[in-house]
Amino acid sequence: MSKNNLDVISTDEAQTLYGLFKERLKRSPEQVAYRSYDSDSQTWYDTTWQQVAEHITHWQTALLAEGLEPGDRVALNLRNCKEWVFFDQAAMGLGLVVVPLYPDDRPDNVAYILHDADVKLVLLQNSKQWKRLAPSITEDHHLKRVVINNKDDEQLDSLAIYADEWLPQNSSVLHNSKAQADQLASIIYTSGTTGRPKGVMLSHHNMLSVSSGALQYFDIFPNDVFLSFLPLSHTLERTAGYYLPIMAGATVAYSRGIPQLGEDMLQTKPSVIIAVPRVFERIYARLQNQLASKSIVAKFLFKATVTIGWTRFLHQQKRAWWHPGFMLWPLFNKLVADKVQQRLGGNMRLIVTGGAALPQQVAKLFLGLGQNLIQGYGLTETSPVISVNEPDNNYPASVGRPLPGITVKIGDNDELLVQGPGNMLGYWNNHKATAQTIDAQGWLHTGDQAKIGDSGHIYITGRLKDILVLSNGEKVPPSDVEAAILMDDIFEQALIVGEGESYLSALLVLNSEHWFTLAKQHQLDAFDSNSLTNKKLHSEMIQRLRKLLYSFPAYAKIRRVTLTLEPWTLDNDLLTATLKVKRNKVIEHHQTDIDKMYQ
């Protein structure tokens, strides 16, 4: 149970994810559940829990008319919106298994998932999505119906129908689900950086237990507003940004997308956001860029604010003595920190980050500016949260302590092993992969190397498979080096190579906007691809990398670079649906360039 919010729904009261929604409806029917943007009127509007329930009855009636049986799989491929919730809850209330898809995933990947999970019905955003997907659907697929959420003028084939024609106009009653807590609720495909994605099977209790556990580490109240922009197909957003707010009775506002994120923050004034570290890395890089052109006084003021703010944070955590500089905090706050808070909407109370490692200097900046930033850790296979920092016990270099009910230990090769109520039921139709991940004693093998501090905080130290071994035997974790490089926003993407070689090299995708300035400085033709191989330009980039990697051991120096303006994307199959770089594919794609760097 949450420490101070008496309206939190317990896992026992909810039993299932649909039971969670029904309990929330019973408790607060007139409370605002969701806030959405209407592009026609250019205004935000609210949907109450009672209105959510009415919509869900329509979706349930339409799903029942398709002759679907409990246990059948249904998929959805939508941007974050209230319809995501309507479909998810309606399906679970009928005992159907929900398969979320990534909005930007490639059609062949989506087709593979629809076939592997034997999906009977899929909900898509628009007709354009169906047009791209349809050629990949074969006779082996058992799709009975394709529902298109947004109506347009496109004529649809017999399999597809627009949602407003498919949904009945009259309300009926909410269906009574007979689902059990340990029953399969969802199959979530993890897009591995190698091989085909695997379907992670999660039960109702898996996801409920994680939402409930998180609420024992930080408080969420009915007057909190979450701004939802991390895709709902991402298990962190789904569990912590959708089910958890229902549990606590909070409101969720749906962002229009990353380009409008800044504007959405000002308009919805959120108190909680959940995001991956890349979002904060970009804000950090932008602030550093803006500072570069400021006066010496402005630079000093900003640096002093962060320094005093960081010491103040450590003092509040009972890890530093009182400092006379704290007396200047009201001034620093007014001149610097509060301006950042206003850009986040003015009400930001809690920022949760996970999904990748948060660079220490980024954490230091946000905490130094007075933001309550906490880092967590987990896997889709653990529903997904394993650990999180508590606001009053926050070690930003760590990924926090295990949630209540979760046990961790260090296994062979320093691998972090986990047992807990969030551990998956297994991989869909893949017993071999399940046995490789969950051992006979029930420990789930994370594939991450870690150490556990005296305070119980977990520190991730590397990936078991993600280590480059140089010819001199030195071991380099490439993801740490890449994260440091991306602190400079001239680099859009980075990949380190050097397995078995005597030195490291880097494949670097340059930010196209910065490229024009850079080319001009070096008197190069920005439109000529040969300019990217200029020796002086390469020397400057290597010097730039040296500064970014000054804290790494000497053997982690980058000695050669390949520069490109061609990004690694989902479309060219060099990124996974969760936007992780497919290391082997990128290396294969750039093999000629890599060979040149080691000639």
Q: Are 458 and 474 within one domain?
A: no
Say if residue 268's pLDDT is above 90: yes
- 415 and 502 both lie in a single domain: no
What CATH number does residue 77 fall under?
3.40.50.12780
Banded model confidence at residue 191, pLDDT cuts 50, 70, 90: low
* Same domain (yes/no): 417, 431: yes
The verdict on residue 3 lying in a domain is no
Beta bridge pairs of residue 475: 469
517-540 tens-digit pLDDT: 999 999 999 999 999 999 999 999
Q: What's the confidence (pLDDT) of residue 469?
A: 77
Residue 195: its pLDDT value, please?
Answer: 66
- Which one of 394, 428, 463 terminates a domain? 463
Q: Is residue 172 part of a domain?
A: yes
Domain match, 510 and 531 both: yes
- pLDDT tens-digit series, residues 407-424: 999 999 999 999 999 999
Averaged pLDDT score across all residues of the chain: 94
Query: Can you give the pLDDT at residue 461?
Result: 87
- Whether residue 233 lies inside any domain: the answer is no
* Three-state secondary-structure class, residue 3: coil
Residues 450-475, buried b or exposed e (16+ Cβ, 10 A)?
bebeeeebbebebbeeeebebeeeee
Determine which of 79-88, 420-429, 519-528, 547-556 has the lowest per-residue pLDDT on average. Answer: 547-556
- The per-residue pLDDT for 192 is 61
Go through 24-50 and write b for each residue having 16 or more CB atoms within 10 A of its CB, e for each that does not: bbeebeebbbbbbbeeeeeeeeebbbe
332-357 tens-digit pLDDT: 999 999 999 999 999 999 999 998 78
458 and 481 co-located in one domain: no
Structural domain contains residue 332: no
pTM for the whole thing?
0.87
Q: Please check whether residues 514 and 567 belong to one and the same domain.
A: yes
Domain CATH code at residue 408: 2.30.38.10
Report the pLDDT value the prediction gives residue 170, as an integer from 0 to 100. Answer: 85
Half-sphere exposure of 224 (CA within 13 A, CB side): 27
- Asked if residue 177 and residue 107 are part of one domain, the reply reads yes
Number of domains in the chain: 3
Domain holding 192, by residue range, is 11-203
Six-digit token pair at 315?
């003092």
Q: pLDDT tens for residues 290-310?
A: 999 999 999 999 999 999 999
Residues 61 and 188 in one domain: yes
Residue 473 has pLDDT above 80, yes or no: no
Which of the listed residues 427, 445, 463 is the one where a domain comes to its end? 463
Per-residue model confidence (pLDDT) at position 309: 98
| Averaged pLDDT for residues 199-227 | 97
Output the pLDDT for position 553.
Answer: 74
| Domain of residue 510, CATH code | 3.30.300.30
User: Domain end: 203, 227, 255, which one?
Assistant: 203
The answer to the question of residue 21 being in a domain is yes
Residue 266 lies in a domain: no
- The kind and range of the H/E element at 187 are strand 184-190
Residue 3 has pLDDT above 80, yes or no: no
In a shared domain, residues 90 and 199: yes
The first and second tokens of residue 114, run together, are 């629809």
For 126-139, what is the mean pLDDT?
Answer: 96
Residue 442, in any domain of the structure: yes
Residue 1 lies in a domain: no
DSSP 124: E
pLDDT tens for 486-515 read: 999 899 999 999 988 888 999 999 999 899
DSSP code of 405? T
What are phi and psi for residue 148, nearest 5 degrees? -105, 120
Contact 188, 380 (CB under 8 A): yes
